[in-house]
Amino acid sequence: MCGRFVVANVGSELVGVLRVDVEGDDLPAPSYNVAPTSQVAIVLDSAKSEPPTRRLESARWGLVPGWAKDLSVGSRAFNARSEELEHKPMFRTALEKRRAVIPASGYYEWKKVGDAKVPHYIHPADGSPLFFAGLYEWWKNPAIAEDDPSKWVLSFTICTRDSIGRLGSIHDRMPLFLDPDFADAWLDPTTENVGDILDAAIDAAPDVAETLEDHVVSSSVGNVRNNGPELIEPVEGD
């Protein structure tokens, strides 16, 4: 799974390789302890224009589908198992037309060691951005006036798959990593072969996973109120 991650850079610093056309005005600040329900910068291709416009927008972590009665649904949908996306109503429509890329610097995972859970920071060895495959939705808040800009809420979930190699020794699930060269295919809202795109992403994720490094970090990361670069520093125990 992926329940905490790091975004040390924002805007074009992090996603230049994805060739974003438009950057939102309200992008969140860098964070070393991103948790579910936080605002996060995501990349999506908007089909409102032809060709689609690639946008970097602020979104709430935790998918809230259009039929939801309130935002609380999203707190349980911060991850989506890739092998279930085509079958679960919660994710099926978003998979077809609303796929996203979530740029990150790295993420945290907890390894069970005896009765304890030890946090690891997992990241690209060369410091390059890491890209997670995701889905997004727009939700209309019925309690807010029609002319209020906050009436529409953009939300997202991070797709996961079974872990491999060293990452599998830390946790049995990992984010669905995307190679930057595959991002265009994943984001394209006009594609009709969604099943093939998903299968290709699942098959390619291990290639990215094998390039990642990890180290043990402080248990301070377990508290969402802690947020700073010291959280990703190695501590004894690796």
The pair of three-digit structure tokens given for residue 93, joined into one six-digit string:
């429509």
Nearest to 129 by CA among 212, 217, 44: 212
Sign of CA dihedral 32, 10, 124, 99: positive
The residues that are catalytic are 2, 109
Distances (CA, A) of 88 to 62, 174, 234: 16, 20, 39
Nearest to 136 by CA among 184, 80, 190, 175: 80
